[in-house]
C-alpha cells in the first residue's frame, strides 16, 4: 500500500524506523528487532540506507522481509551520497522487483572531509525524486528540517529549496528529530505559507541514553529545551531512570502533537522494540484505529 494512501485513510498514523546492521555485523539481531517491532502493527516501517554503501545492500532485503513476510507496509530509503546513478537505477529495480511501492529519497550525509558530488552521483534529493518517479508508480517521501538544514544559512532559503524538492514529485515529508514542538508548529506555518501542502510526518527520537545527546547536537544542531536538558542532567547517569524519562518525554511530545492536529508520527526506534512498544502502550487510547 502506498504511504500517501495510508496517510489519507487514517486520522493519526504511527510508524517506525529501523536501520541495517553495520558492515561486518550480524544480521540476526536486526531481523529479530524488526520482527518484534512489526508485532506492534505500525502503519508502516522505514529502513535506512547505509552511509557509503557499506550496509545499503541490506536495505531492500529488510524492507522486503517487513512487507512480504510480516505484512507491514515498507518504506525503503535511497540516498544520493551512497550510490552512483547506475547503482541508484539498480536499487530502484530491486525495490520494484520486491513489490515495495514506497521510497524515501535523501541526499544523505556527506562524509567528513569528502568532496561531493564527484563522478556519476546525483547532487540533490530533488534529482533523485525525479529519477524514482520516472522509473515507476512509486510513492516518494523526502526529509525536511524544522530547524533548517545545517548547511543552509537562512531558513527562508531552506524552505525555498524544500519547495523545489516537493515540486519535483514528493508525496509526503518526514521531519528530522526535534525536542521542542513549537519548532515544528512554526515550521508548518512557514511552509504552508510557501505553498507546501503535502502531509508532514513528525519524526520523534526517544532519547533513552544520556550519551546520545552530544552526538545528536553535533550532527543536526537540534535545539534542546531547558526541560529536556534538566531531564538529561538529572537522569543521564542512571540508565534505567534515563530510559524511563526518555520514553515519558517522547510520549508527552506525541500527545501534544496529536492534540494540536499533527496526524503522522514516526518514531526513530534505534532498533529497540521495547522502547517503541512502551511508547505505543502509553498512547493506546490516543492513537488507535478509531482516531
Catalytic residue numbers, as ranges? 17
Asked, as a colleague might, if the bond just before 241 is cis with ω within 30 of 0, I would say no
User: What are the backbone dihedrals phi and psi of residue 287, each rounded to the nearest 5 degrees, phi first?
Assistant: -115, 110
Contact 99, 73 (CB under 8 A): no
Answer yes or no: are the C-beta atoms of 237 and 210 closer than 8 Å.
yes
**Contact by Cβ (8 Å): 262, 182:** no
**Can you tell me the distance from the alpha carbon of 18 to that of 243, in angstroms, rounded to the nearest whole number?**
19
Q: Are 18 and 11 in contact (CB under 8 A)?
A: no
Residue with cell 487514517: 10
Amino acid at each position: 500500500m502506498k504511504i500517501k494512501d495510508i496517510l489519507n485513510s487514517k486520522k493519526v498514523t504511527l510508524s517506525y524506523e529501523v536501520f541495517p546492521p553495520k558492515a561486518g555485523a550480524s544480521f540476526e539481531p536486526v531481523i529479530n528487532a524488526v520482527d518484534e517491532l512489526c508485532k506492534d502493527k505500525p502503519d508502516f516501517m522505514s529502513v535506512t540506507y547505509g552511509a557509503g554503501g557499506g550496509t545499503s545492500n541490506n536495505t531492500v532485503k529488510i524492507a522486503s522481509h517487513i512487507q512480504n513476510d510480516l505484512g507491514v507496509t515498507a518504506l525503503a530509503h535511497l540516498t544520493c551520497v551512497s550510490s552512483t546513478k547506475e547503482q541508484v537505477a539498480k536499487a530502484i529495480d530491486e525495490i520494484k522487483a520486491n513489490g515495495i511501492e514506497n521510497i524515501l529519497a535523501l541526499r544523505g550525509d556527506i562524509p567528513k572531509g569528502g568532496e561531493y558530488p564527484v563522478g556519476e552521483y546525483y547532487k540533490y534529493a530533488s534529482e533523485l525524486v525525479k529519477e524514482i518517479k520516472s522509473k515507476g508508480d512509486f510513492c516518494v517521501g523526502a526529509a525536511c528540517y524544522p530547524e533548517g538544514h545545517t548547511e543552509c544559512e537562512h531558513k527562508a532559503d531552506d524552505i525555498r529549496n524544500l519547495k523545489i524538492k516537493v515540486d519535483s514529485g514528493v508525496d509526503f515529508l518526514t521531519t528530522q528529530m526535534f525536542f521542542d514542538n513549537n519548532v515544528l508548529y512554526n515550521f508548518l506555518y512557514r511552509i504552508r505559507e510557501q505553498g507546501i501542502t503535502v502531509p508532514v510526518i513528525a519524526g520523534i527520537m526517544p532519547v533513552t541514553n544520556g550519551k546520545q545527546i552530544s552526538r545528536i547536537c553535533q550532527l543536526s544542531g537540534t535545539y534542546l529545551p531547558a526541560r529536556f536538558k534538566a531531564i538529561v542532567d538529572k537522569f543521564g547517569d542512571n540508565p534505567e531512570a534515563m530510559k524511563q524519562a526518555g520514553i515519558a518525554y517522547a510520549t508527552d511530545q506525541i500527545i501534544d502533537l496529536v492534540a494540536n492536529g499533527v496526524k503522522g508520527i514516526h518514531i526513530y526506534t534505534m532498533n529497540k522494540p521495547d522502547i517503541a512498544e512502551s511508547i505505543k502502550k502509553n498512547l493506546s487510547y490516543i492513537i488507535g484505529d478509531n482516531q
